[in-house]
Chains A and B, each alone.
Chain A
């Protein structure tokens, strides 16, 4: 560069190109997602929403209704507990079989290596399918076999969470010190022995902690599954919403928030206890306290199954076996005609558009809330914005979608808003944490040089937090893609709406195509986000 030449920013061309590309991509996404904020302020919509929300006060507190509510709450907890138990039964053998360090054939490689590799990869594919199809879709399918009620929810949780737990268990087992397990295998021990004596001692706490965390997620999931008729609070909420009974809806919402917060606190307490127990003196074997905990757990699980009175025997009747066979047959021969494939492809695009626009809105709103929430604008603003973020986060996307579908009508825009509301709560909190941890020196230096607060933020803080915030946004986008695929069950567009519609018409072959598309989308999201994260870690 010569001093005499006019100076140009070499990055300008790249930035301009990126901006244009972003606009060119964003525009069709906005069109596909039917982004029309004016619908929010449409007089008709405002009146319906206003009336419904006005009916929220006072919450319904009739004795009979509260009885229903208490039963539904218990049912939700029981579904979550029974579902996690099923998931565990599925996940433990699957995890043991897919953990490579437990395979004796890997040593050498020894005899039977080819068979072991086939088993290993085959089971991994099974796990991917199990967790790639959202629990809500499983629930929707099972409702058709078992009828309305908790059995569908328990089975759906068992399958999806079984797949998830097995994958994470295998990851945990392989990430730690694997030498003890290998030593046992080399000394002629079997798979189970190598696990119990080589891997379990080092990983027991992390495995238990993750299981408890998943139980907490299962509580939330079992509420949501009620919306497709799988029992519990969700089903009650669905009925109240359909009848536009605001009073009941608000009571259920409050019960739901209390349940989620309680599950959150309880799981946090359990996990802290677990961490602390790891530091204390240990008994040889299980010990009296451990035995008590195990007995209590067994009692809770048993009580859950008894309370739900699951008719799993129905699985074994000839009638349902035939029904399941028909389902499987239809789904394994999906409709692949060009017309239908085109429709499903548009559904995928719509799902992507909903997730992208929803996440973008949440990034903007999350930032707006994170600034006060990080305590930069005073204590009062900090506390109130943290409260707003917590409230936004505690209501699941699907519940938001029932509300937004009321206020802007059915369609993808309702999904965009629902995703944006929930994700704002999540991202706002993460952004606020990032802000609090940002190094203060650049910020303070600019403030002390007389820069305006906004300029101080843009030049001193934003460059420090941008990479972390971008990573969070990508991670949430991945979750949003999965979520956008099922928001359609309550009429918020995308693949879910297509699936719901085809299933109600008993078009099983067409539904099979949509489920395959959901699986594909979930795999794509997985792969893309893993790649992006690796790229960002590299620089």
Chain B
């Protein structure tokens, strides 16, 4: 799915400007990594692209249409083509993994099928196939509160794989995984996007992970785009400048602190070094 942001800004009701004057465009099938220090506006950028937040300035066009000019059902149809991998997987703790994965296609299924699937899972094979790509096939019938945080984050990825969206938005999708699993999970996303010609935008904290797999890198700091280059053109100097506020060392997979991720229940979800 192609998208265009033109002079987009987002200022919250309390006066805080999360993004200002962002212009960014992508063709169908592009794979983009968004990097930058904590609080730079990466999550906000992805939420704007997912039509989950409405910008306060500028224009957004997804698949050549302004999502906020569509009718309610038009917006719903558009959103069913967008899949989001959340940093904290938004999965109810008492839901089973199979149901959580199948929920990826709720936007596509007719209502009767959504209800019937609660009584007997509609597509066990499909859910298992998506989970198997992340080595989780055997956790199919476990409850979400009975698996580890790293497994839960991969269930969130499997849901989007099962959804087969045209635009994949991944917000720090591997923050709870160890380096080997993180590389594997990002590669699964990259291969899936490439195979289906889907567009992939992922925000990543580990710079080496971004540079290794993504052809295009967008650097964000203080709510603005600092650079937008092909991976080969990104220099050490540009990166140090981007992360100047975080010290002299660049965040990489090996140095990145793991985050604890739990199924969503009540208030606090994330505990870890970069909790905002």
Contacts and interface: CB of A to CB of B under 8 A. Distances in A.
Interface of A: 1, 3, 7-12, 15, 437, 439, 441-442, 444-452, 454-456, 458-460, 463-464, 466-467
The 10 closest A-B pairs by CB, nearest first: A450-B80, A450-B107, A451-B106, A450-B79, A463-B92, A445-B90, A441-B90, A455-B114, A7-B124, A448-B52
Contacts of A442: 90-92, 264
Contacts of A439: 264-267
A463 B128 CA distance: 21
B90 A444 contact: yes
Given A450-B77, A452-B76, A7 B125 contact: yes
A376 to B, nearest CB: 15
A3 to B, nearest CB: 7
Interface stretch (B95-103, B214-222, B230-238): B95-103
Contacts of B52: 444, 448
Nearest to A454: B111
Contacts of B91: 442
A298 B176 CA distance: 64
A7 B88 CA distance: 29
A308 to B, nearest CB: 49
Given A3-B137, A442-B91, A459 B103 contact: yes
Interface stretch (B30-38, B57-65, B115-123): B115-123
Q: Could you say which of A447, A448, A454 has the most chain B C-beta atoms within 10 Å of its C-beta? A: A448
Contacts of A9: 98, 120-121, 124, 141
A445 B104 CA distance: 10
12 contacts: A3-B128, A9-B98, A439-B264, A439-B265, A441-B88, A442-B91, A444-B90, A448-B51, A448-B84, A449-B83, A458-B114, A459-B106
Contact of A466 (B76, B88, B94, B265): B94
Given A3-B128, A450-B80, 20 more contacts: A1-B140, A9-B121, A9-B141, A10-B141, A442-B90, A442-B92, A442-B264, A444-B52, A446-B103, A447-B79, A449-B79, A449-B80, A449-B106, A450-B77, A450-B78, A451-B80, A452-B106, A459-B114, A460-B90, A464-B92
A452 to B, nearest CB: 6
Contact of A458 (B107, B115, B120, B137): B115
A450 B269 CA distance: 24
Contacts of B84: 445, 448-449
Contacts of B99: 459
Contacts of B103: 446, 451, 459-460
B163 interface: yes
Contacts of B76: 450-452
A3 B138 CA distance: 10
Contacts of B121: 9
Nearest to A437: B266
A11 B120 CA distance: 9
Contact of A449 (B82, B93, B125): B82
Interface in B134-150: 137-138, 140-141
Interface in B260-276: 264-267, 269
A9 B115 CA distance: 16
A91 B42 CA distance: 63
B265 A464 contact: yes
Contacts of B86: 441, 445
Contact of A463 (B51, B81, B95, B140): B95
Interface residues of B, number: 51
A360 to B, nearest CB: 19
Contacts of A467: 94
Contacts of A15: 119
Contacts of B138: 1
Nearest to A10: B141
B132 interface: yes
Contact of A455 (B82, B106, B128, B141): B106
Given A441-B88, A442-B92, A451 B265 contact: no
A471 to B, nearest CB: 13
Contacts of B266: 437, 439
Contacts of A458: 114-115, 118
Contacts of A463: 92-95
A11 B143 CA distance: 12
Contacts of A450: 76-82, 106-108
Interface string B198-211: 00000000000000
A15 B269 CA distance: 31
A452 B111 contact: yes
A446 B82 CA distance: 11
Contacts of A464: 92-94, 264-265
A452 B114 contact: yes
B9 interface: no
A449 B107 contact: yes
B270 to A, nearest CB: 11
Contacts of A460: 90, 92, 103
Nearest to B109: A455
Contacts of B223: none
Nearest to B115: A458
Give the most central of A15, A441, A446: most B CB within 10 Å: A441
Contacts of B125: 7
B251 interface: no
B50 interface: yes
B222 to A, nearest CB: 26
Contacts of A437: 266
A8 B96 CA distance: 14
A455 B111 contact: yes
Contacts of B96: 11
Contacts of A448: 50-52, 79, 82, 84
A466 B118 CA distance: 14
Contacts of B90: 441-442, 444-446, 460
Nearest to A12: B120
A511 to B, nearest CB: 47
B47 to A, nearest CB: 8
A312 B214 CA distance: 90
A11 B118 CA distance: 12
Contacts of B79: 447-450
A1 B124 CA distance: 13
Contacts of B141: 9-11
Nearest to B88: A441
B104 A449 contact: yes
Q: Taking each of B82, B107, B109, which has the highest tally of chain A beta carbons within 10 Å of its own beta carbon?
A: B107
A448 B10 CA distance: 18
Interface in B149-200: 163, 165
